Amino acid sequence: MDPETGKRIKVLLVVLLIGGAIVGYLRLRSDREEAAEQMVAERRKAEEDVVAVLKAAKDRQADTHLARGERVRVEVVQVPARFQAPLPATAEDFRRWDDRFPPRSLVEAKLCAGDEDMWTRFLAMAHALARPQIGSSADPPSAEALGRLVSYCSRQEICPRARSALSASEHPGLRRALHHALAYCTAPEDRAVFAAACAQAGEEADSACPRAGGREASPVSPDRPDPARDTGADDLGRKLQKVGLLPAGPLPEGVSGAVSVRQALEAAGRVHSFDTETGQFPNEHDGLLAALAALAGPPLSAAAFEEVPPPDPEGGGRPYVLRGYLGGKRYTVSAEDLGDWYDVDAVLVLLEAMLRDQGSSVRLVPLPTGDQTASILAAEGAALERARAEGLIQLGEADEGRSRGKAFEDEVLRKIQSGELRLEGGSE
């Protein structure tokens, strides 16, 4: 090989080496760029996942008490015959009120909600009990015993039923019970019937009747807002209508005097408030279930409920069994035995399962109360989202009332035991 050829070969080798280096560099750069792009894509995907998780958490917060399917057992079972049975027609049956009849707490809740069928059965029972009962050793139920089924209700749905029955009944005990049921009704026609009954009753008038020389008792419950207060609540009511928590049209009676969202919703019959401490055994979750079902409206308002309490009133770790019947199905959930406190979470879990299984978009959610009571709002899920986005409502926790009540009880007990608080009313 001549020198010139050797030089050319060397030059070609150098060019090849440089070219190879360049190609390698470009490949490395390409790999790095691809890796960088992949890292960016993965980071973007991770960010999207985080956003999705946060959105899911927000959705869960907006609907805190989604029915947990593993807690609720659903079976194809028809409602037991006792739920359609007439109410007791004899003094003995009224006193016993056994499993042949609908649960008493369920009857109270259905009457409070203005359920037509239950009112028909209630009036039939009242008139049957008013008739002379030959051969009966039991005294007829007192007006107070009869009245307990309808007297402790603040829902306005009871008012038309009670007004109609009071106008038609001659039964003294039933009239006193219905008169008391009308005490906190606010519609003018209800107030007129209540006032007429006050005048007719004379000395035996209901305690809510106006007294001679005294100021007329207010028809508005202490738990309800005073309609005479001018707080600009019409604007609040319109905001609630805008997001869908109240229906369009004229504002429901009582909303105009509301000073808070919860008061407005209570006045409109969209919130049910109750003490989470029952003071009794069993706790009668079935009555609470029926009251909240009436609040939610169809299809839940057609449901029937029952409670199977644990066998030992003193505890022992056995749970309550709560059942709901609707549409040919039975829904069952266990509820904790919390002493004389409702298991509100179990109640909401059962109702949510029934609502979702029936294809309803209505949701039942707790609102914060700051004490041992609970306030449950019934509304369309979309309306709840809009209300939360507008800052009109905040959601609470199902167990908040019991937790606050127990904490207060524990603190009082601690102070008594330590001597800081004396039972005589004094403290050190």
Same domain, 279 and 388: yes
* pTM for this predicted structure: 0.74
Residue 145 confidence (pLDDT):
78
Residue 40 resides in a domain: no
Q: Which domain holds residue 288?
A: 58-81+270-399
For the chain, 428 residues long, the average pLDDT of each consecutive 10-residue run is 67 64 63 60 52 44 45 94 94 92 93 93 88 68 76 82 84 78 84 86 70 45 38 75 92 81 90 94 94 94 94 82 96 95 97 96 95 96 95 92 88 82 59
pLDDT of the residue at 385 = 95
Give the pLDDT of residue 428.
43
Beta-carbon contacts of 125 under 8 Å, excluding residues fewer than 6 positions away, are 86, 87, 88, 89, 94
Query: What pLDDT was estimated at residue 135?
Result: 61
pLDDT at residue 86 in the model: 96
Whether residue 237 contacts residue 255, with contact meaning beta carbons closer than 8 Å, is answered with yes
Tell me, yes or no, whether 287 and 393 share the same domain: yes
Report the 10 Å Cβ neighbour count for 189.
11
Say yes or no: 66 and 104 in one domain.
no
Task: Say if residue 275 is in the same domain as residue 393.
Answer: yes
Indicate if 276 and 394 belong to the same structural domain. Answer: yes
Residue in this structure with the two tokens 């606010």, named with its chain if needed: 186
Instruction: Identify the pLDDT of residue 87.
Output: 96
71 assigned to some structural domain: yes
User: Can you give the pLDDT at residue 414?
Assistant: 83
The candidate with the shortest Cα–Cα distance to 267, out of 300, 219, 303, 299, is 219
Query: How many domains does the chain divide into?
Result: 2
Instruction: With respect to residue 220, please indicate whether it lies within any of the assigned structural domains.
Output: no
Residues 146 and 70 in one domain: no
In a domain, 135, yes or no: yes
In a domain, 178, yes or no: yes
Report the distance separating Cα 326 and Cα 79, nearest Å. 8
- Cα end-to-end distance, the chain, whole Å: 118
Q: Tell me whether residue 213 is in a domain.
A: no
Within this chain, do residues 343 and 287 fall inside the same structural domain, yes or no? yes
Angle at the Cα of 336 (from 332 to 338), degrees rounded to 5? 145
In this structure, are 392 and 331 located in the same domain? yes
62 & 148 share domain: no
User: Would you say residue 9 lies in a domain?
Assistant: no
Residues 76 and 98 in one domain: no
Instruction: Assess whether 306 and 334 both reside in one domain.
Output: yes
Answer whether residue 134 is part of any domain.
yes
Q: Looking at the structure, do residues 76 and 124 belong to the same domain, yes or no?
A: no
**List of residues 6+ apart from 105 with CB closer than 8 A:** 284, 286, 287, 290, 307
